[in-house]
């Protein structure tokens, strides 16, 4: 097998720098779940192949045909060099997954009159050197600039802050900065990868904070999964930041970490995997129920998955007025008399399942109006949805493979949303967390409450107008500038109202 393995994929880098070899796609770790190949529409598995074609004018057509025959999508053909005996071209195409990308390359090798050169994975190219950089907000061009931005002038600011600590937010980066903290124990849907492999995700998160809310966020990847060490580390770095965003920390540890940090810090602590997901799900569900003409307080909802996201979704749904929720996990439907449940799951069972029903996920779905999946890929065949009520709403959100194939679910549901970017109604946390933190920072909030989360969800739902609303459009695009302004404004208003209420209750004269 070693003699027939495909050559390494090399990522082109600036002139004079050696190419960065990537392991052959065929030798990489297998795809997370054996599911049917998805649609080829995104850039996640996009490659650029350098090809030398002979002088036959039909060669370029044969190249495009080969990519199409392999199921790929050509997105660009750029001429690099033209000479009498032929062309050198860069062909960029999208694949469904890593294995598919390799299949496209191998098929191109068989095209008559074409020689395959370097193959570049565009996603790896984008990550070369990381996605973040530090830039100064003030000019440093003259001696005067230096003497004010640094010593000796900066000493005056230090002394002023020692005398008036409340001005730290105003005179430093603290007022516009967020720490994105992880221990790498639950990276995306990939599992416990550790701090190094988690860093590209945290960099991406920080980049999104800047792009959508103009917040300076910093990736903090901790080389520990000890709860006490994580809590203490965040506590001692907190003076630099106006908020803490916990990310990709496995349950149930994430619950204790968030609880303890909220108790000990005077800045907001927000676990996005929990609350960001919950905000977007509630907003999407609010609009989905508008489409099917049902009320939130009268529907039966089934949530698959009792981890961080599932628990937060249920908590926010209950706060929003939902009364009939069943939660299913690997042990079955969570019920109060199940002695197998962990303390976290037992607490969740005590707040849900009013009839104390037992059984499996298929039992829970009978007569249900809504299914929300945050469990694992393909836990249920689409046909199992047939027992749900008319006008069913189905949100299979497991990442990277949905709990139920959203395409196969179409005959059984009136509204479908998923985490997939190639289908309508993508449930994406980017719709929530930039605006949430923008609002918290603008209001100089010291904590975050359920009311602020509800305000964020209601504001996000309201961005979709009655004229826009339909089964394929229940959440707005992340690139809609109204989204983050609406969420930020709602959160800031709720935070200021909470601060005012707390001040009034503390003042005996009011």
Of all residues in the chain, what percent carry a pLDDT higher than 70?
91
Q: pLDDT by residue (tens digit) across 238-297?
A: 999 999 999 999 988 999 999 999 999 999 999 998 999 999 999 999 999 999 999 999
Specify the fold of 143-267. Rossmann fold (3.40.50)
Question: For all residues of the chain together, what is the average pLDDT?
Answer: 89
DSSP 43-74: STTEEEEEEEEES-TTHHHHHHHHHHHTT-EE
Average pLDDT over residues 105-128: 92
Task: Give me 59's structure tokens.
Answer: 């060669």
pTM of the entire predicted model: 0.84
Domains of the chain, by residue range, sit at 2-127, 143-267, 275-286+293-422, 431-506
Residue that has been written with the tokens 């089964």 in this structure: 471
Task: Beginning with the edge strand found earlier in the chain, give each strand of the sheet holding 216-221 in spatial order.
Answer: 216-221, 177-182, 243-246, 269-271
- pLDDT score, position 26: 37
Spatial neighbors of 110 by CB under 8 A, at least 6 apart, are: 66
- pLDDT score, position 339: 82
Rounded to 10°, the helix 253-264/227-237 angle is 30
β-strand partners of 114: 53
Q: Is 150 a catalytic residue?
A: yes
Strand pairing class (300-304; 370-373): parallel
pLDDT band of residue 500 (cuts 50, 70, 90) is confident
Cβ proximity of 33 and 378 under 8 Å: yes
CA 372 to chain CA centroid, Å, is 17
Q: pLDDT by residue (tens digit) across 152-166?
A: 999 999 999 999 999
Average pLDDT over residues 122-126: 91
Q: pLDDT by residue (tens digit) across 318-374?
A: 999 999 999 999 889 999 988 888 888 888 999 999 999 999 999 999 999 999 999
β-strand partners of 11: 20
Average pLDDT over residues 182-199: 92
Of all residues in the chain, what percent carry a pLDDT higher than 90?
75
Assign domain 275-286+293-422 to its CATH architecture.
Answer: 3-Layer(aba) Sandwich (3.40)
Task: Give me 208's structure tokens.
Answer: 């999104």
Pick the CATH number of 2-127 from 3.40.50.720, 3.30.70.260, 3.60.15.10, 3.30.1300.10: 3.30.70.260
Average pLDDT over residues 364-391: 95
Cβ proximity of 180 and 245 under 8 Å: yes
| C-alpha torsion 63→64→65→68, nearest 10 | 130
- pLDDT score, position 39: 54
**Three-state helix/strand/coil letters over 274-295:** HHHHHHHHHHHHHHHHHHHCCC
Q: Does residue 475 surpass a pLDDT of 90?
A: yes
- pLDDT score, position 176: 96
Query: What is the SS3 assignment for 91?
Result: strand
Q: Does residue 18 surpass a pLDDT of 60?
A: no
Q: pLDDT by residue (tens digit) across 34-85?
A: 445 555 556 788 999 999 998 788 888 999 999 998 889 899 999 999 888 8
Spatial neighbors of 299 by CB under 8 A, at least 6 apart, are: 289, 322, 324, 369, 370
- pLDDT score, position 60: 87
Spatial neighbors of 444 by CB under 8 A, at least 6 apart, are: 169, 175, 242
Q: pLDDT by residue (tens digit) across 204-232?
A: 999 999 999 999 999 999 999 999 999 99
β-strand partners of 219: 180
**Top-confidence residue, 501 or 322:** 322
Catalytic residue among 205, 294, 300, 412: 205
Q: Do domains 143-267 and 275-286+293-422 have the same CATH topology?
A: yes
Average pLDDT over residues 122-137: 92
- pLDDT score, position 442: 96
Rounded Cα–Cα distance for residues 501 and 479 (Å): 35
Provide the sign of the torsion angle of the four alpha carbons 321, 322, 324, 327, taken in this order: negative
pLDDT band of residue 509 (cuts 50, 70, 90) is low
Spatial neighbors of 253 by CB under 8 A, at least 6 apart, are: 185, 225, 227
Q: Does residue 19 surpass a pLDDT of 70?
A: no
- pLDDT score, position 342: 84
Average pLDDT over residues 482-500: 94
Task: Give me 207's structure tokens.
Answer: 């980049």
Q: Which of 14-28, 203-217, 277-291, 404-418 has the lowest mean pLDDT?
A: 14-28
Spatial neighbors of 192 by CB under 8 A, at least 6 apart, are: 184, 185, 186, 225, 250
Average pLDDT over residues 446-460: 96
CA angle 308, 451, 329 (to 5 degrees): 20
Spatial neighbors of 175 by CB under 8 A, at least 6 apart, are: 169, 242, 441, 444
Task: Give me 358's structure tokens.
Answer: 């037992």
Residue that has been written with the tokens 């937010």 in this structure: 169
Q: Is 210 a catalytic residue?
A: no
pLDDT band of residue 506 (cuts 50, 70, 90) is low
Element (H, E) at 229: helix 227-237
Task: Give me 277's structure tokens.
Answer: 């997901």
Query: What is the SS3 assignment for 473?
Result: strand
- pLDDT score, position 377: 87
């Amino acid at each position: 097998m070693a003699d027939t393995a495909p050559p390494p994929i090399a990522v082109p880098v600036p002139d004079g720098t050696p190419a960065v070899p990537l392991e052959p796609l065929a030798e990489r770790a297998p795809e997370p779940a054996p599911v049917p190949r998805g649609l080829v529409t995104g850039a996640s598995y996009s490659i650029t192949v350098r090809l030398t074609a002979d002088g036959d004018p039909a060669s370029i057509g044969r190249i495009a045909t080969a990519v199409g025959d392999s199921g790929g999508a050509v997105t660009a053909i750029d001429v690099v060099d033209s000479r009498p005996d032929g062309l050198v071209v860069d062909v960029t195409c999208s694949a469904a997954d890593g294995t598919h990308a390799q299949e496209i390359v191998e098929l191109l090798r068989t095209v008559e009159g074409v020689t395959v050169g370097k193959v570049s994975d565009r996603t790896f190219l984008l990550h070369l050197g990381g996605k973040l950089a530090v830039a100064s907000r003030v000019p440093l061009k003259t001696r005067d600039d230096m003497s004010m931005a640094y010593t000796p002038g900066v000493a005056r600011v230090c002394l002023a802050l020692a005398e008036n600590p409340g001005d730290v937010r105003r005179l430093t980066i603290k007022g516009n900065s967020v720490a994105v903290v992880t221990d790498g124990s639950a990276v995306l849907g990939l599992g416990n990868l550790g701090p190094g492999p988690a860093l590209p995700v945290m960099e991406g998160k920080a980049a999104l904070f800047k792009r959508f809310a103009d917040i300076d966020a910093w990736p903090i990847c901790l080389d520990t999964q000890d709860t006490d060490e994580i809590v203490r580390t965040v506590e001692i770095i907190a003076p630099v930041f106006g908020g803490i965003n916990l990310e990709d920390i496995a349950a149930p540890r994430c619950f204790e970490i968030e609880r303890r940090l909220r108790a000990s810090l005077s800045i907001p602590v927000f676990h996005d995997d929990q609350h960001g997901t919950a905000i977007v799900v509630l907003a999407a569900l609010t609009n989905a129920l508008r489409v099917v003409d049902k009320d939130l307080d009268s529907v039966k909802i089934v949530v698959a998955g009792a981890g961080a996201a599932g628990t937060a979704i249920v908590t926010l749904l209950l706060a929003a007025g939902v009364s009939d929720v069943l939660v299913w996990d690997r042990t079955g439907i969570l019920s109060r008399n199940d002695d197998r449940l962990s303390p976290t799951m037992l607490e969740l069972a005590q707040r849900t399942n009013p009839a104390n029903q037992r059984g499996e996920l298929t039992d829970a779905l009978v007569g249900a109006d809504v299914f929300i999946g945050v469990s694992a890929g393909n836990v249920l065949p689409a046909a199992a949805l047939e027992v749900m009520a008319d006008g069913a709403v189905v949100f299979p959100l497991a990442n990277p493979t949905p709990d139920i194939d959203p395409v196969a679910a179409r005959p059984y549901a009136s509204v479908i949303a998923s985490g997939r970017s190639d289908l309508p109604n993508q449930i994406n946390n980017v719709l929530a967390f930039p605006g949430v933190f923008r609002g918290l920072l603008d209001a100089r909030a010291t904590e975050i409450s359920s009311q602020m989360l509800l305000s964020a969800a209601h504001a996000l739902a309201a961005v979709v107008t009655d004229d826009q609303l339909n089964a394929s459009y229940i959440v707005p695009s992340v690139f809609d500038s109204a989204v983050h302004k609406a969420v930020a404004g709602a959160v800031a208003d709720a935070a200021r109202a909470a601060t005012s209420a707390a001040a009034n209750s503390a003042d005996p004269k009011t």
